[in-house]
Structure 1
């Protein structure tokens, strides 16, 4: 009997030790899905929110700086996990079609290959705790050696499979002269609905072999890349000037004025806000239900953000970017039936100018509407509703319609595919606005 009792006690100790070890292991191990890096704007981790990536001191436009010009890009993002871990980032040079360039890191960057992000701040917001990370490019650890398209991606603990985000940006030179105009399309069928961009490139002071083939031009509307025009050839060559005065291929659907909401004050029912619900630990904001637009809508009195946003709060106790809070925002789109062929997306800088799953609307048949609930940081927001059949390219006309009076921003990027070099240079960037540059939104709120 004594031997049996001793044997039973031994088994219990072994079982308890195994149980405790398993429990400790389960507490220490966290499964993190592995993602394949994509060379586009993307959030890979659900804890990451509000990516801002602009030239320092600006709150709109492409993330673009001049090579050796002394300018800096500022990347910020919020991490809801509240885990302060080592965050690394890496820079990749890409060609004009966003494929990685087959050259060594030291050929396009001077500095460290996998530096850390050391600038972070704990939020003091009431509803949502987060850690805000900030990175300036270039910095003391890296310098750009060549122009072109670039991608930055961020990951945890030196492990590139633990991706957090990736984002495109540009480093440009100023090697050629560019003149451009924007006007309603010439073709009668599109005159009331499209904007056309005519431009010329003067390369008198820059040597190019076979310029008609070596020069590649990309046109971008409101920071969108899903509808970018990237297959233009010059209509003709006059001396050292390439002329792109096409009649159709260089035109965009004008769309409508951006939808707008001011979320800086969560107690003020401003334009396009239907109401608020405030709870102990959260604030819920309901945007007025949206419908298909049949007419051109006048823009907001403050001007257009061209699909962008300006993060900020006008509450008396919010003085820095890390004080700014989050709220749950509800978007509704009235539709009698669910579309069987495609989906609707809330689109703009709030979605990183991507057709993002996080911003795809879901249909509620009993209420005959599409719905999206998403966490947004306080600030002023523009957005539009895009319709997509494939999740890659969006149709502005399905909901917003198009009118020539609509305000839009445009970027012209000029690339040089030099046969003597191993990479594609970005030799010119020009930003344009319709109807005029004076309409550009210029607010900068609560920037540290």
Structure 2
């Protein structure tokens, strides 16, 4: 054996004995700070100092994160990292993950669904100006120039810190649409489809050029309310089909909790009081904003009002650049109730600002002396839609009915999504998308 080969084999043997074998058991035994949080395939913030996450079509701040194959219309992600002035900004990176219709990760490689680099660094950031609470505002836009998606479907945008993909910061869902399945509306009971309300609705699909043998298996039809995924409704099969046409029906009142129109909190200024603000107190490090106490609306007569269907927007009156000049203020919410709900019932302030989730930061506590539920948390200056919802025991679903009422007249935005998986595909394609009572 040549001496050079003998030396090489010796070094290889030494390297193998020096490096421990990493097994599943040894990985699980690592400390939590080394493993990092578990990736969730949903809208979620993993870090306490990340706030005001907005994910939308470019220059349309309250739009939904929808891309279309063949169009050069990027999405924009914005968020803030609350940081003292003496700390430098973080290095954040992004990654794109393809998912099936049920938001499970697919086995597709990035090269199969994206032309370009799915991993990238967030290079656009700015420090806050003229604010009591200091922060860094980050912006990321994609697809970049000369990059595009090759395949429609569900996708997850993952943001992580440094060069460690397990050091998660936030995740956001979005969809890419290839409009190959036209969706046409059918009117019921002589109603017009309008922004104000929808109670029941039928629609027809056509699938030109697609092989549909069993529509209950080959087509996956979902309906979203206000682009929420937590209460998305799947329509299992069409009512009628034939001649490559498929008619579906949904009763919105039975499928969704209509709730009530959203309440509104406007905090554009720390000097001028809006209709929702009772008092403002200045502290050395931040402002305290006290809202007028709210009342339950379960038994009230329904009153129509224009809302933003749970959305929020960043605004400030005194400055021109709200993304870096709007301040974070501590908001004090109060809901007057004569007696607390049963012990297993928890009350939350709820909306798009909470990622449509029952987050501990927005849970209310009952004050027996003041006879009301209270919660205090920081929000960036702007306009916020919100509701009071209840979690019953271990049930994870938010229930607006006890405090907001089951009013059938309330309006919401609805979207239809149609998925199809061709023979040989390893993920679901989104081939139909139709907003019902709003414009894109």
Distance 1:412 1:182, change over 3 A: farther
Verify the 8 A CA contact 1:235 1:244 in the aligned structure 2: yes
3-state SS in 2 of match to 1:212: helix
**How many pairs were matched up?**
397
1:35 aligns with 2:37: yes
2:187, 2:63 → 1: CA distance? Answer: 18
Match of 1:203 among 207, 211, 234: 207
Cα distance in 2 for residues equivalent to 1:351 and 1:72: 24
Task: State how far apart, in whole Å, the 1-side matches of 2:284 and 2:187 are.
Answer: 50
- Report if the CA contact (8 A) 1:155-1:163 is conserved: yes
Map 1:216-295 onto structure 2 (within 5 A).
216-246=220-250, 251-293=255-297, 294-295=299-300
Structure 2 gaps of 5+ residues are 1-32, 192-196
Determine the C-alpha separation between the residues in 2 that align with 1:340 and 1:167: 33
Q: Does 1:422 align with 2:397?
A: no
- Structure 1 unaligned runs (5+)? 1-30, 187-192, 443-448
Distance 1:207 1:235 in 2: 19
CA distance in 2, matches of 1:100, 1:291: 43
Bigger drift between 242-251 and 393-402 goes to 242-251
Higher mean C-alpha deviation, range 60-69 or range 372-381: 60-69
Does the C-alpha gap of structure 1 residues 32 and 299 become closer, same or farther in structure 2, counting only changes over 3 Å? farther
User: For residues 247 and 390 of structure 2, what CA distance do their matches in structure 1 show?
Assistant: 34
The C-alpha deviation readout for 1:264-315, integer Å capped at 9, x for no partner, is 1222222222221123332111122222212244344xx3211001111111
Task: Note the alpha carbon deviations across 1:27-72, whole angstroms, 9 max, x for none.
Answer: xxxx688211101111110010000001112132421111221111
SS in 2 for 1:77: strand
- Residue 79 of structure 1: CA displacement? 0.3
Distance in 1 (alpha carbons) for counterparts of 2:119 and 2:269: 40
Alpha-carbon separation, structure 2, partners of 1:386 and 1:283: 26
Match of 2:27 in 1: none
Query: How far apart, CA to CA, are the structure 2 residues paired with 1:250 and 1:268?
Result: 43
Change (3 A) 1:267 1:185: farther
Q: Say if 1:54 and 1:63, in contact at 8 Å, map to a contact too.
A: yes
Taking a change above 3 Å as real, the CA distance of residues 103 and 259 of structure 1, as seen in their structure-2 partners, is: same
Residues 352, 181 of structure 1: alpha-carbon distance in 2 compared, 3 angstrom cutoff: farther
Looking at structure 1, the residues matched to 213 and 250 of structure 2 have their Cα atoms a distance apart, in angstroms, of 23
After superposition, the Cα gap between the structure-2 partners of 1:89 and 1:247, relative to the gap in structure 1 and judged at 3 Å, is closer
8 Å CA contact 2:74, 2:141 repeated in 1:
yes
Which 4+ runs in 1 deviate beyond 6 A?
A: 182-186
1:387 is matched with which residue: 386, 390, 393?
Answer: 390
TM score, norm. by length of structure 2: 0.83
Native 8 Å contact 2:198 2:252 kept in 1: no
